[in-house]
Amino acid sequence: MKHYEVEILDAKTKDKLCFLDKVEPNATIGEIKSMFHKSHPQWYPARQSIRLDPKGKSLKDEDVLQHLPVGTTATFYFRDLGAQISWVTVFLTEYTGPLVIYLLFYFRVPFIYSPKYDFTTSKHWVVHLACMCHSFHYVKRLLETLFVHRFSHGTMPLRNIFKNCTYYWGFAAWMAYYINHPLYTPPIYGEQQIRLALIVFLFCQIGNFSIHIALRNLRPPGSKARKIPYPTKNPFTWIFLLVSCPNYTYELGSWLGFTLMTQCLPVAFFTLVGFIQMTVWAKGKHRSYLKEFRDYPPLRSPILPFVL
C-alpha cells in the first residue's frame, strides 16, 4: 500500500508549517487536522481550515486523502479560523438573554420607567399575554437547542456570539420597553385582533417545532449526511411540498402574529429584519439543495410558496 507525504503551507505567506510522512491513503482531512494539531497545539482542529488552494474552499473533515486530486506528495494550505465556540453555547446565550431581558421590563424593575411605576403591572391583558408568548418562544428555542437540534458544524467563530447577542438582546429590550410601557395602548381592533394574532402565533410555533423534529429525524446521531426533507404524517410538515425552509416560514408567521397582537412598531421592525435575514439563509439552503440533489422537487421555493 502506497503512503502519502503531506505538507501544509500557510495560505497567506506560503511558509511550510508542517510535513507529515507516511500518511495512510484512507486518512481523512479530520485526521490530518489532528496530526497537524500535535505539532501546532495552538491550532485545534475546529480552528483549522484546510484547503487545496490558498483562496479555495475549505475541505470537509470527512474528505478522504486518496479521493482528492493530489499526488503522493500532497500540498494543503492552512488558514486560521480564529477562536471557536460551540453552536450550543451560542444558541443558549443568545436565547437566554431575550427571555431574561423581556421579563425585567415586564416586571418594571427600577431604573427603566419612572420610579412610581416600579414593580407595577399593566392593566391591559394583552401585555401579560404578550409576555407569555415571548417567554414561550424563547423557552421553546432553548429546549430545542438542548434536545432537538443536531448541528452539522460543531463550532462557529467566537466573534459571532457578540454579534448575535447584540441583535437578539438589543431587539428584545427595544420591544419590551414599548410593550410594557405604562403608556402602552392595546391594538386598535381590540380583543378580536388579539385572539386572531394568538391563533396565528400558536399555529406557527407548533409548525416550527414540527419542522425541527422532521429535520432532526433526517439525520441519525453523529451523522453529517444530508437528505432531501419530505412531508411526514404530521400535517404541519406538508408545507415541505412548497418550500425548502418551512422552519423559517413558520418563524416569520410567529412574529407576524406577535406584531399583530402587540401592534408595536419595534416588533414589526424586528419581524422585517428577521424576514430579510431568514430569506438570505433560505435562498442559500435552497441553492445547496438544488446543487446537491438532482431530483430535488422543482416546485419548492426557498421561504414563501410561489413567491420567494
pLDDT surpassing 80 at residue 79? yes
In a domain, residue 301? The reply is: no
Domain co-membership, 77 together with 136: no
Number of domains in the chain: 2
Q: Residue 21's domain is classified under what CATH number?
A: 3.10.20.90
pLDDT for res 95: 96
C-alpha span between 126 and 133 (Å, rounded): 10
Q: What percent of the chain has pLDDT over 90?
A: 65
In a domain, residue 255? The reply is: yes
Domain co-membership, 170 together with 252: yes
Domain co-membership, 180 together with 280: yes
Look up residue 45 and give its three cell numbers.
482542529
Neighbour count for residue 159 (Cβ, 10 Å): 11
Integer angstrom CA distances of residue 84 from 37, 153, 280? 15, 11, 23
In a domain, residue 297? The reply is: no
pLDDT for res 20: 87
In a domain, residue 161? The reply is: yes
Q: Where are the beta strands (DSSP E) in the chain?
A: 4-10, 16-23, 48-51, 73-80, 84-86, 155-157
Domain co-membership, 92 together with 211: yes
The residue among 56, 82, 108 that closes a domain is: 82
In a domain, residue 306? The reply is: no
Domain co-membership, 101 together with 139: yes
Domain co-membership, 59 together with 183: no
Look up residue 83 and give its three cell numbers.
477562536
Whether the CA torsion 195, 198, 202, 207 is positive or negative: it is positive
Residue carrying C-alpha cell 500518511: 23
pLDDT for res 163: 92
Domain co-membership, 201 together with 136: yes
Domain co-membership, 67 together with 93: no
Average pLDDT of span 140-157: 87
In a domain, residue 299? The reply is: no
pLDDT surpassing 90 at residue 202? yes
Neighbour count for residue 106 (Cβ, 10 Å): 20
Domain co-membership, 56 together with 138: no
Q: Does residue 231 contact residue 238 with C-beta atoms inside 8 Å? A: yes
Range of the structural domain that residue 263 is part of = 87-292
pLDDT for res 74: 87
Find the length of the chain: 308
C-alpha span between 116 and 11 (Å, rounded): 61
For helices 190-218 and 125-147, the axis angle rounded to 10 degrees is 0
Average pLDDT of span 13-31: 88
pLDDT surpassing 90 at residue 159? no
The residue among 82, 113, 135 that closes a domain is: 82
In a domain, residue 284? The reply is: yes
pLDDT for res 149: 86
Domain co-membership, 12 together with 127: no
C-alpha span between 268 and 263 (Å, rounded): 8
In a domain, residue 303? The reply is: no
pLDDT surpassing 70 at residue 1? no
pLDDT surpassing 90 at residue 204? yes
Domain co-membership, 77 together with 160: no
| Cα dihedral value 166, 168, 171, 174, nearest 10 | -80
pLDDT for res 222: 67
Q: Does residue 32 contact residue 74 with C-beta atoms inside 8 Å? A: no
C-alpha span between 90 and 71 (Å, rounded): 40
Domain co-membership, 153 together with 60: no
